[in-house]
Amino acid sequence: MTDAECLELLRWASLHLQLRYEGFRRVRGQVCKRVGRRMKALGVVGLPAYLARLEADPAERAVLDALCRVTISRFYRDQGVFEALRESLLPQILEAVRSRGESVFRVWSAGCASGEEPYTMAVLFRLGLWPRFPEFRMELVATDADASLLERARSGCYRRATLRELPSGWVDQAFTSEGEELCLRPEYREGLDFRCQDLRQGMPEGPFHLVLCRNVAFTYFARPVQREVLARLLERLVPGGVLAIGAHESLPEDAQGLVRAAGALPLFHPVGPRL
């Protein structure tokens, strides 16, 4: 598939699948290679023939939607975000929760891919927060639309390269070596609930103290869908909680009900009463 054909395909997908064409600018080659393999498997020759297949076959449109999911992840991705959470924002939340006599910290990782983000939170909580808040336990729901990625996430084993941004010493404390991979110790998997769920179709009930929705909705979904997703995210966020989006993402232009929580970092508090 040529680059021009790739662009034509993504324009079609944006129109029919409610995706955001601009979000695929840097990753279109990855997506279109997948589609090229799909066309070969179907025996479809040429983009016009594949577009005709998409027009006639809703099931193939669902396949294309899945092929458009981009899954790039690593532990502690965007270090400044996790440092701000660890050093100031989450201790403030936990202090407020503690003052009410509660001891459960609830987190949702939306679009968790193969688990790097939720396990980052598990390690951060246990090594970065638990020493100051030993009475707390964390309940973390991690959702993704791709069942095969969730199976990889449940295994909890990763190549060392994807762990390189974790703070010094955390890898040795949280992981054991198994062949060429490092696997998360059992205690760091406690309280994690992986669920197969598409943000556009369903969400966990909440409420949550922290919602991580990074590099999914506000990159790849069309603006009207982004607005719908954002409204539903806010419904699940406790007063004074934190919403994290991707470092290179922006909220819809007319988004309301949020204020920045840590300078220019992509971290937001809902407007309203604090915890």
Known catalytic residue: 34?
Answer: yes
Residues 6+ apart with CB under 8 A from 39: 1, 45, 50
Options 74, 106, 144, 146, the catalytic residue: 144
Options 34, 38, 152, 232, the catalytic residue: 34
Neighbour count for residue 106 (Cβ, 10 Å): 21
Tokens encoding 138: 């964390």
Tokens encoding 256: 């309301």
Say which residue the tokens 């060392």 belong to: 160
Known catalytic residue: 172?
Answer: no
Q: Which of 17, 15, 7, 8 has its CA nearest to residue 198? A: 17
Whole-angstrom distance, CA of residue 265 vs CA of residue 242: 12
Active-site residues: which are they? 34, 144
